[in-house]
Chains A and B, each alone.
Chain A
């Protein structure tokens, strides 16, 4: 009771509070809580330079993914195209602002902030850990990380292109645009980035100095 020095080999399960003794894991293996099977920790691949590359590529695709049309529809000779943002605004303009915001946040704003946040985290870890102000910024970014990850729904949006295209193919000619390609690439880069990213590992950089 009332330990002063905390044993670093001990961890607690976040879902059921079980005490777990940490052991070294081979790569690609995840430790699950023996009681409730919640993933506890894994050996983070988490190479900072690899993440930087993925993050920059994703940011590179972010602008065209949102500026170029993702879906085009041809009906009796007239052509309509839409971008992701137009889609959100169209619903918003019809008075359904809850839906408009939900789409805008989960497909544009959250992914954008997520990528910017990861980029700043990487840059601070690489170059700025000496500065106290930057360490504080890193701390705030890491605190927001969970929320941003939860709000990012790129994978669902990619599936929704296909569903919408099949839905509309019933009465019009549907084609994908350059934006669709960029958006899919944005999704794939973010997917791989998030597989590399390990929040616990990022927090440990704050402990070190």
Chain B
């Protein structure tokens, strides 16, 4: 359509859009997809707001998830409470470095990177920041893929709690941070899922092409 857009013809320029549910190419004018009857949305502008809301809630919950203990362990009458971090520190002390690395990545690194990454991504759309779109999109794909691995810690806790239940002798119980942590995972996954990524490519188009001549 416009000359400074290189050869990038967009679906909405030629009156076509992709059904968000079944990925069928359909005419922009129809309201429902002819194949799966899902409502068609050419651009979901509200998705940015929804995603911000989910992301901010997740960022707030990240604090209780890391500050409060996530497990309570009774070992021969002695009660110790572990936060996510102290649990990993304990693994390092007992020379289980590989497990410590897996848990550190899944429970600390991934949630933080996800929240930071998504807020950079959303800021780039909301405030029209001149960040390379390719890098943002690569980051987004990584976040989408790796995000679910945070569930690892919850699975480990559920297995541990079920198997270690011998009263005063040896007993493991979940503690308040577990719920907060579960919600952080849920909310960040949703925040990444609702974003209409086409908005990023729409909004930064003009700026990128005028500043760089590639």
Binding site for B on A (CB under 8 A): 1-4, 6, 10-12, 14-19, 35-38, 70-73, 75-76, 78, 80-82, 86-91, 94, 96, 98-100, 102-103, 106-107, 139, 142-143, 146, 150, 153, 156-157, 159-161, 163-164, 166-168, 170-172, 199-200, 203, 206-207
Contact = CB atoms under 8 A, between A and B. Distances in A.
Contacts of A153: 148, 151
A37 B24 contact: no
A207 B149 CA distance: 36
22 contacts: A3-B15, A6-B16, A6-B25, A10-B16, A17-B17, A17-B202, A35-B8, A36-B133, A37-B141, A75-B170, A76-B169, A82-B159, A90-B158, A91-B161, A98-B182, A99-B179, A153-B148, A159-B102, A163-B99, A164-B163, A166-B96, A203-B22
Contacts of B60: none
Given A10-B25, A98-B179, A107 B155 contact: yes
Interface string B164-183: 11100110011000110011
Contacts of A80: 163-166
Contact of A2 (B10, B15, B21, B157): B15
A94 B71 CA distance: 12
B137 interface: yes
Interface residues of B, number: 70
A207 B26 CA distance: 13
Interface stretch (B48-56, B115-123, B193-201): B193-201
B23 A14 contact: yes
Interface string B143-159: 00000110110111111
Nearest to A200: B23
Given A17-B18, A37-B137, A100 B96 contact: no
Given A82-B163, A94-B174, A35 B179 contact: no
Contact of B18 (A2, A12, A89, A199): A12
B152 A102 contact: no
A92 B17 CA distance: 44
Contact of B152 (A94, A96, A160, A206): A160
Interface in B27-47: 27, 29, 35-38
Contacts of B138: 37
A108 to B, nearest CB: 11
A184 to B, nearest CB: 14
A71 B174 CA distance: 18
Nearest to B137: A36
A78 B174 contact: no
Contacts of B15: 1-3
A70 B18 CA distance: 44
B186 interface: yes
Given A35-B201, A156-B152, A86 B35 contact: no
Contacts of B25: 6, 10-12
Contacts of A91: 157-158, 161-162, 174, 178
A37 B197 CA distance: 12
B213 to A, nearest CB: 17
B81 interface: no
Contacts of B2: none
Q: Which 3 pairs across A and B sit closest by C-beta, in order of nearness?
A: A160-B155, A82-B162, A16-B201
Contacts of B141: 37-38
Nearest to A35: B8
A81 B159 CA distance: 10
Given A16-B137, A107-B155, A168-B164, 7 more contacts: A18-B11, A36-B137, A75-B169, A87-B163, A89-B162, A90-B162, A172-B170
